[in-house]
Structure 1
Amino acid sequence: MNRSTYAPGTSGSVARAVAPFVPLALLATAGAVLAYLWKAPCRFGGAWNDGTQQFLNFCYTDIYPLWWNEKLDQGLAPYFGHPVEYPVGIGALMWVIQRIVAGLSEPGVWFYDLTVLLMAVSLVVGVVVLAKLSLLQRRPWDAAWYALAPALILTAFINWDLLCGALALGAFLAWSRKHHFLAGVLLGLAVATKFYPVVFLGPLFLLSVRARKFPAFLYTVAGLVITWVAVNLPYMLLAFQGWKRFYVFSSERGADWGSLWYFFQMKQWPFLGDAARLDTLGIVSFGLMCAAIAVLAFTARTRPRLMQLCFLVLAAFMVTNKVWSPQYVLWLVPFAVLARPNWKPLLLWQIAECWYFFAIWLYLVGIQPGNEALGISDVTYYTAVWGRALTIALLAAFVVRDILRPEHDVIRQDGLDDPVGGVLDGAPDHFVLRLDSPAAREEAPATPA
């Protein structure tokens, strides 16, 4: 052994660095086990094979039926042999696991189990990364919300969202450490897995402009673009028809269960319920919310924290989206915790998300002919749709209040500025739009220089 590569005490230093995160990793493991057990009536009881029982037992997942729906059972390769309605990050994982389980008895069940194992690892990694980010804010135990949130246990293994969450959080950990290109690489991998993390470019751009840290933003964009192209280009060149299915499907699909647009259409609201205007309404409403967030970012007397704007833009994207699946709660939990770690509104939101989780499956039972008595009415279901939208709006209102009045921000009450912000932390402002009076400007606290 080369002595220059080993120093006494190194292992102890590593142990001390890792030790604080072990309890949270164990909590995340417990959360994953609980989520797996929640699916027991389907995984072990066969409810997946009954269109009613899987809903009455609240154990539905997308993963198991996709073994057949995506023709994996026939040995077809995603995109090449059959078009897949997911980005290539997920399609590639489907293919790898398909190769592993081919030839086993009950390959569909094995496909589910191995996918869940990967998602469980993603949850543990995501919780540890969130703990590292929370530690910067001097609140490492906030990550326990992600490990054991009630809605997470219910929705963790419906789809592949936890993998994307771990990648997105990793990107922000890299940003906080000023590894901007790496942040872009991880964000590019996240976008190649689920498309929603692309919205985080907005907050990075706004705050980089305000603090004149544009080179950091450009390095991140470069990393994202290079990575996304590198991952997608082989499929685009060799299996374009299969590759474009995700984007065509996303543009063509109508208002789906859970979205506010679905409510407007089912209730036949004038204008808002017009299916022909759906895409325009979604884009315009999201654009207006983003414009409001931009105004807030440039006019707030104290520059908003990065996680505050990330939460706001992601919440806006979810509320205005034409699809709002139950597992989308997994997108928002880490950013809600980093933006405003206050347990009361978080718990209220979690209750609303859990109510929606149970309501959607009972609603799907109730619309099946002959099962009306087993399900719930559409009126009851819509209370759940609006419940989670309104609780997210409440969370957003508190975040906006914290931005406008930083003395209410529990992170900044400890004398911190933007500990997850990397180059933004403590940076002086260079581009600010002042809408208040000169007297108010004199009294306003400045962003730390």
Structure 2
Amino acid sequence: MSASSDQRATRHRLLTDRLLGPFGGPRGRYAPAAARGVAGLAPVVLLLGLPLVLAALRQAACASNGWQGRAPVWRQCASPLMTSFVEDHAGLGVGGWLAGRTDVQLPVVPGAMTALLGSLAPGSGLAQQRWVLVLWAVVAAALLAGLVVAVGTALGHPRADPVMLALSPVVALGVLLSVELVPLALAVFAVWAWSRRRVTLAGVLVALALLGSPLALAPLLAMALVPPAGLRSPRRRLLGTARVSLVLVVGPVAAVDLGLLLRPVRAWAQAGAAAGSPWFVPTLAGHPLAPRDVVLLAVLGLLLGAALAVLLARRRPRPCVAQVALVALVPVLLTAPALPPARALWLVPFVALAGVPWRDHLVWAGAEVVHAVALFGWLTSASDPAHGLPAGWYATALALRLLAVGRLAWIAWTLVPTPAPARSSIDQ
């Protein structure tokens, strides 16, 4: 039996034990064989219903009363996705987005998804927004199901735990707030294709992910640093395919409207620090950093993440792609100009693939929940100081969240065992 077959069998046994343990223990020796592969992951996919229902319940108040004004902040159901329809005219659909008649300043892939939702959702105003929520919930459920299968069937990740992805509280917290899940899913599917030695598919998928978020640079770097064994020039083929795919997509988009590519970059560079970022703390104290300084710090974080990924990839035994990607991703997130609750979704699949223990995952998820509640409380204080959260308390919640996110990188680093030094003849 090959090493990959042994890995699949071991993972199936562990997955079955996790699911059946609370309901009477693992499968007995003489019990009939359970389904394997994608079919064996069907119960895990069904578990996604729990975080999706919780996410929908968080949006119920706004779905009833609308996403306009300050009320969504008080009800803690404000959504960047719905802001695109309330304030940025995303309801004009794909035609309005391509013609530049909307104020949607998102990268190409999430911008196209937002515009597509606007085209598919019937009606206008609140009725259209409700349809957008329903349509996005369906798309998100399909993407999450695909992510569960990808985590459960990726090779070279012996610690991968699809149950962790399916039941992550962070999914319930942020999945319906934005379309951040689209570029994330593309990046994770690229890692899956890479683990399956499908280099061309991985290159195409990671290129599309890059058009959705620069955070996809982390898994791209991880794949380049940890290539599958036995392939000829996998790095060159991966990067070449990604480069060609980018040109094939960017060219037509630029021909239609170059602003679709430039406006998101310009908005990112000029926005300065925002909620969730450590560079937002001076703003809370009344001394905001200049936008150029925030951009410089973000670039330094990107370089730090790349350096840490290179160092980790050189260790032996060789780490898995997800561990390297997680170590690269965390510094980028921690030094970004903004880290809204929905962006934490980027960590969930790589945490599950890397095999971060459940205890550490739940500690981080708890910090994310505390930060999200504190953020809405602080935003409430802008209109109602008597009932809102003071800036100092929000800064405390922000610091706890940043520490919890940083700890994930440390855990991923320590999951790679350090080989014992060779014993000399004198020691023997």
Instruction: Summarize the Cα distance change of 1:98–1:301 in structure 2 as closer, same or farther, 3 Å threshold.
Output: closer
Partner of 1:121: 142
Partner of 1:297: 313
State the Cα distance separating 1:170 from its structure 2 match.
1.1
Inter-partner Cα distance in structure 2 for 1:48 and 1:21:
36
Partner of 1:315: 330
Inter-partner Cα distance in structure 2 for 1:136 and 1:207:
10
Structure 1: runs of 5 or more not aligned: 1-12, 408-439, 444-449
Partner of 1:92: 112
Q: 3-state SS of the aligned residue for 2:233? A: helix
Percent of residue pairs bearing the same amino acid type: 26
Inter-partner Cα distance in structure 1 for 2:220 and 2:184:
15
Inter-partner Cα distance in structure 2 for 1:208 and 1:130:
18
Instruction: Summarize the Cα distance change of 1:274–1:92 in structure 2 as closer, same or farther, 3 Å threshold.
Output: closer
Are 1:374 and 2:394 counterparts?
no
Are 1:108 and 2:138 counterparts?
no
Task: Judge conservation of contact 1:32–1:123 (CA < 8 Å) in 2.
Answer: no
Are 1:24 and 2:44 counterparts?
yes
Question: What are the within-5 Å matches in structure 2 for residues 53-202 of structure 1?
Answer: 53-74=71-92, 77-82=96-101, 84-103=104-123, 106-133=127-154, 137=157, 142-202=161-221
Inter-partner Cα distance in structure 2 for 1:406 and 1:276:
43
Are 1:257 and 2:314 counterparts?
no
Task: Judge conservation of contact 2:308–2:327 (CA < 8 Å) in 1.
Answer: no
Inter-partner Cα distance in structure 1 for 2:253 and 2:224:
29
- Ranges of 4+ aligned residues in structure 1 off by more than 6 Å: 211-214
Partner of 1:446: none
State the Cα distance separating 1:27 from its structure 2 match.
0.9
State the Cα distance separating 1:327 from its structure 2 match.
0.8
State the Cα distance separating 1:212 from its structure 2 match.
9.7
Inter-partner Cα distance in structure 2 for 1:344 and 1:262:
29
Instruction: Summarize the Cα distance change of 1:39–1:401 in structure 2 as closer, same or farther, 3 Å threshold.
Output: same
Identify which of 14, 21, 40 aligns with 2:60.
Answer: 40
Structure 2: runs of 5 or more not aligned: 1-32
Instruction: Summarize the Cα distance change of 1:96–1:282 in structure 2 as closer, same or farther, 3 Å threshold.
Output: closer
Inter-partner Cα distance in structure 2 for 1:273 and 1:128:
43
Using the size of structure 2 for normalisation, the TM-score is 0.82
Inter-partner Cα distance in structure 2 for 1:55 and 1:191:
31
Inter-partner Cα distance in structure 2 for 1:231 and 1:25:
32
Instruction: Summarize the Cα distance change of 1:42–1:227 in structure 2 as closer, same or farther, 3 Å threshold.
Output: same
Instruction: Summarize the Cα distance change of 1:93–1:392 in structure 2 as closer, same or farther, 3 Å threshold.
Output: closer
Instruction: Summarize the Cα distance change of 1:290–1:239 in structure 2 as closer, same or farther, 3 Å threshold.
Output: same
Inter-partner Cα distance in structure 2 for 1:114 and 1:193:
19
Paired AA for residue 132 in structure 1: T
Identify which of 343, 357, 374 aligns with 1:342.
Answer: 357
Partner of 2:265: 247
Using the size of structure 1 for normalisation, the TM-score is 0.79
Instruction: Summarize the Cα distance change of 1:378–1:228 in structure 2 as closer, same or farther, 3 Å threshold.
Output: same
Task: Judge conservation of contact 2:52–2:172 (CA < 8 Å) in 1.
Answer: yes
Task: Judge conservation of contact 2:319–2:416 (CA < 8 Å) in 1.
Answer: yes
Inter-partner Cα distance in structure 2 for 1:401 and 1:214:
30
Partner of 2:240: 222
Instruction: Summarize the Cα distance change of 1:254–1:154 in structure 2 as closer, same or farther, 3 Å threshold.
Output: same
Task: Judge conservation of contact 1:260–1:320 (CA < 8 Å) in 2.
Answer: yes
What's the RMSD between the two structures over aligned residues?
2.8
Inter-partner Cα distance in structure 1 for 2:362 and 2:50:
19
- How many residues align? The count is 389
Task: Judge conservation of contact 1:170–1:186 (CA < 8 Å) in 2.
Answer: yes
Inter-partner Cα distance in structure 1 for 2:373 and 2:285:
22
Instruction: Summarize the Cα distance change of 1:115–1:285 in structure 2 as closer, same or farther, 3 Å threshold.
Output: closer
Deviations for 1:374-409, whole angstroms, at most 9, x for unmatched residues?
A: 2111111011111111112222222222335369xx
Deviations for 1:261-296, whole angstroms, at most 9, x for unmatched residues?
A: 111443478xx9565422222212431343243234
Instruction: Determine which structure has greater relative contact order: mean sequence separation of CA pairs < 8 Å that are 6+ residues apart, divided by chain length.
Output: 1
Paired AA for residue 99 in structure 2: F
Task: Judge conservation of contact 1:79–1:243 (CA < 8 Å) in 2.
Answer: no
State the Cα distance separating 1:103 from its structure 2 match.
4.4
Inter-partner Cα distance in structure 2 for 1:81 and 1:304:
45
Are 1:331 and 2:346 counterparts?
yes
Instruction: Summarize the Cα distance change of 1:128–1:265 in structure 2 as closer, same or farther, 3 Å threshold.
Output: same
Are 1:352 and 2:371 counterparts?
no
Are 1:400 and 2:416 counterparts?
no
Paired AA for residue 336 in structure 1: V
State the Cα distance separating 1:230 from its structure 2 match.
2.2
Instruction: Summarize the Cα distance change of 1:109–1:403 in structure 2 as closer, same or farther, 3 Å threshold.
Output: same
Inter-partner Cα distance in structure 1 for 2:96 and 2:53:
30
Moved more, 315-324 or 272-281: 272-281
Deviations for 1:120-153, whole angstroms, at most 9, x for unmatched residues?
A: 22122212222223x764556x212222211211
Instruction: Summarize the Cα distance change of 1:294–1:333 in structure 2 as closer, same or farther, 3 Å threshold.
Output: same
State the Cα distance separating 1:307 from its structure 2 match.
1.5
Partner of 2:11: none
Task: Judge conservation of contact 1:302–1:406 (CA < 8 Å) in 2.
Answer: yes
Task: Judge conservation of contact 1:90–1:160 (CA < 8 Å) in 2.
Answer: yes
